[in-house]
Structure 1
């Protein structure tokens, strides 16, 4: 698979094609964080009381990396992603990794989102 995701705020924004390299170079870390939150809101079903600002950067990076993987490697379109909660998106990549690697579901559930994406990206 040719998809590559650098596990940083900028890396996820670039991999998702949500911002180009030139604009990412001019953005502060806080701008990158807020941009990723906005993009996740547009690609994930959220309960009204769910505030993505509460997530730390590593959690946001992991959630963003899952969205990028599902969209680009598994061809989930934005409409499909918008019907899925964070947990449903996470479960989709867990099921993908289980089918592809044979690693037991319980073991995969113990991995972080970033670890799940890294595993899914291994050829």
Structure 2
């Protein structure tokens, strides 16, 4: 169970503590400021958190992970960002589809493959919705 919670926490941390860049030739970047992040995952259910997003956050790579440069695949109304990371738990292959204007809202669908599996979890999916609350963080 500890591994399952770690995986859910990792996915939430990835998408709550990092920005998005709106250009297709770069990783999407959220506007700096105060955001409400809603995540839905099978392991953790629905969670809402409020976070302060800064200029240098990284939305696609887990903190403490050694990751490849993001591979970008443009879509009609978004972008798919793929990275492979090595952490102390093993290898993580992360593919995230981003849509939205990234100034007021965004939506992300994150899929992660763990090798070796985290407990019984070898694959995990998380849906994320971000809503901009304002420029000032409490």
- TM-score (structure 1 length as normaliser): 0.24
The answer to which structure has the higher strand fraction is: 2
The answer to which structure has the higher helix fraction is: 1
